[in-house]
Chain A
Amino acid sequence: MGSTTGPRGRVRRLVTGAVALLAAASLVTACGSGDGGSDGGGDGRAADANGVDDGTTLTMWTRAATRPQSEALVKAYNASHKNKIELTVIPTDDYQAKVGAAAGSRDLPDLFASDVVFVPNYTTSGLFADLSERVDALPFAEHLAQSHIKAGTYEGKKYVVPHTLDLSVLFYNKELYRQAELDPAKPPTTLEEWDRHARAVDALGGGVDGTFFGGSCGGCGVFTWWPSIWAAGEDVLNKEGTEAELDSATAKKVYETYRGWVKDDIAAPGARDETGTTWTGVFPKGKVGVMPMPSTTLGLMPKDLDLGVAPIPGPGGGKSTFVGGDAIGIAATSKSADQAWNFLAWSLGDAAQVDVVAAHKDVVARTDLASNKHSAADPRLVTINQLVADGRTPYALKFGQTFNDPNGPWLTLMRNAVFGDGASVDKDNKAVTASLAD
């Protein structure tokens, strides 16, 4: 039941749909034919590595998942510069569609951040301006988070810089650990230990659960399960991102552990239905023992929640993390590339990184600032900052449609492996490969 207006509504619907498609299409053509536009705004000629601050109003988009980080940076920039940035936050699930449609109609903002895994989509389609010379001219260029720079390099040109780093790490509730007679100073260092801890906390009862995960959220699975596979030295994709290796013995061991949590009710209720919208909202309620969380949520946790942070371990040990978050670039269509660069250069400088990013308990985008006055005060931040070196950012051109699509093949694999009996992993892995090579 979509329409209350019947056949008229149907016609209108078709018309609207057709018009939308028409608009998108004609403008896509316009964009596609302007190949040269990819270096239109940022030809890197600007002599001043800091760009221009002349009171221009710039537009910028980011997704809801990294809103607090973007907002803090924009607020600090607007307060100290003549340029003004108007930030628009778009629901995470709709971000790809929104950028796609805007790219078609050449309506992209001056600056747009993107989940780092989708960046290859945009660089190969020429949506970002070339920033190579500007980036290389930065005095700290070599210290920028390389996994983000790598994701945004296409045919030897650099198109993006790191904007917010979001790492997957284990959060554990020290208060519940004490109650379960576990040592709050000793978070799990292997998947098996994590399993034991979760079960011990779950045994407390009274609405307390061992762990939690987004069981209907492909992006959550990628972000929180893959580090366990990487930690054991195994890979999940081939180098070109065209073949899945999600059926390895290590991967199966990881699925099996999660399957046990479902079977024995160790995971908090709702894990099966969790589509990713509320998955980070469960831990802060203080009723979950130990679960992987995005590092960007550390600064948002309730003050009275006694939580510890640890790397995500794999079967038999090891540690890894998914170096996610957003990279940011200047739209190829932007007319204010010099002004936009002024914001980017500033956002990576010492002042912004330490006084805004680190002060917010977030991961800094530069390895040379990994230990700073804020991280020194909170050992949890040191744990997270040091993890950047052990983490990975997977690369695949078809990442979104394979892993983030709620009707895509990876979510099928996840759910069969964890809520089913796990017998179809090999078959499902083939479907993932088919989608990657599509």
Chain B
Amino acid sequence: MQVKAPDRAPAEHRAPPEHRARRSPTSTPLWRSRKVQGLAYAAPTALFVAVFFLLPLLLVGQMSLSDWPLLAGDRGGNAPENYTDVTDSPLFWPAVRFTLLYTVIVTVVLLGLALLLALLVQESRPGAGFFRTVYFLPGALGLASASLLFWGLYSPTTGPLSRTLEKLGLVDEPVSFLGTPTSALLSTVFLVVWKFAGFYMLILLVGLQRIPHEVYEAARMDGASRAQIFRGITLPLLRPSLALSLLLCVTGSLLAFDQFFVLTKGGPDNSTVTIVQLIYREAFQRLNLGTAAALSIIVLAALLLLNVLQFRGLRHADES
């Protein structure tokens, strides 16, 4: 998200230059000077960022260069062993590939569906409010709870889905929703789309409603078809909302953890291991904070790079 430049101070707060010049330095106590006040306003945030972001980040950096077992503590530097260990792990590259694949699938399906839903409920027709609420409702659930719910639904031994399909005669034997690499991926994508489609619909809905009616009317007067209006007006004017959704969705998907941790634990046969799961595994299965920190730094760097590229791409597109 771009940070907006702060609004300029209202005119009455800015003393005219000659007035300021005539004042003796002692008549303005230090604490009232704009500079100090500005610093004071920024200090809490700066402090927060320093204590809760920069400091830990530095520590993670140091940790990633040290032999640091979870139970035994810091045993001194070993750079760059943690980094080579992590990238040499047979799970690393498959996890990178899988995370990217998952991100692409989720982003395309999720944003496509969210746009469709937003278009469906954008007019203030009777019932539109009801459907907006219904579509948004799954978003009110925590992701871990939703994953657990779906884990129960998907279970071939205790879940109702498989049994219902059997009773309906659609399948002959219990369906293993999480049993093969493809079905596990698709089942997880289904959960995520169910959970988040309403949220992205809301973002896009706000964008849609900011498009002035006059533009549509003018287009219709000129005899533009529905498809032309969608391509020529709706999509371009929706760009800021789409860009925001894209950023949120890509970043969130690259950091996917909860849903796979609950639903598949990376299985079957390590086919659904995401990169953040690997961080968890290093720290809490292999009890090695050093390699976990190294992996975190790699992910951080990759995310930074990707976000810079995404910002650039979007700005570029805006300018063209």
Contact = CB atoms under 8 A, between A and B. Distances in A.
Interface of A: 1-11, 13-15, 17-19, 21-22, 24-26, 28-29, 31-33, 96-97, 100-101, 103-104, 121-122, 125, 127, 216, 268-270, 272-275, 278, 281-282, 400-401, 404-408, 411-412, 415, 438
A97 B173 contact: no
Give 9 closest A-B pairs by Cβ, nearest first: A32-B73, A18-B56, A97-B284, A6-B248, A125-B71, A270-B157, A406-B265, A22-B56, A28-B73
7 contacts: A2-B143, A21-B56, A21-B59, A22-B56, A216-B267, A273-B156, A408-B285
B155 interface: yes
B140 to A, nearest CB: 10
B110 interface: yes
Contact of B255 (A3, A24, A103): A3
Interface stretch (B121-129, B192-200, B210-218, B222-230): B192-200
Nearest to A274: B157
Given A407-B270, A412-B269, A24 B252 contact: no
Contact of B300 (A6, A14, A29, A122): A14
A25 to B, nearest CB: 6
A233 B303 CA distance: 53
B147 to A, nearest CB: 11
Contacts of A18: 52-53, 56-57, 59-60, 296
Interface string B109-127: 0100000000000000000
A23 to B, nearest CB: 9
Contacts, number: 185
B156 to A, nearest CB: 4
Contacts of B285: 96-97, 400-401, 404-405, 407-408
B158 interface: yes
A4 B199 contact: yes
Interface in B204-258: 244, 247-249, 251-253, 255-258
A2 B252 contact: yes
B252 A9 contact: yes
B275 to A, nearest CB: 12
B139 A19 contact: no
Contacts of A22: 55-56, 59-60
Interface string B57-75: 1011001000011111110
B256 A405 contact: no
Contact of B73 (A31, A405, A415): A31
Main secondary structure of the interface of B (DSSP, over half): helix
Given A14-B300, A216-B267, A125 B286 contact: no
Contacts of B270: 407, 412
B289 A21 contact: yes
Contacts of A2: 143, 252-253, 255-258, 276
A1 B300 CA distance: 16
Nearest to A30: B73
B202 to A, nearest CB: 10
Contact of B307 (A7, A216, A269): A7
B1 A21 contact: no
B82 interface: no
B155 A6 contact: no
Interface string B284-309: 11110100110010001001000100
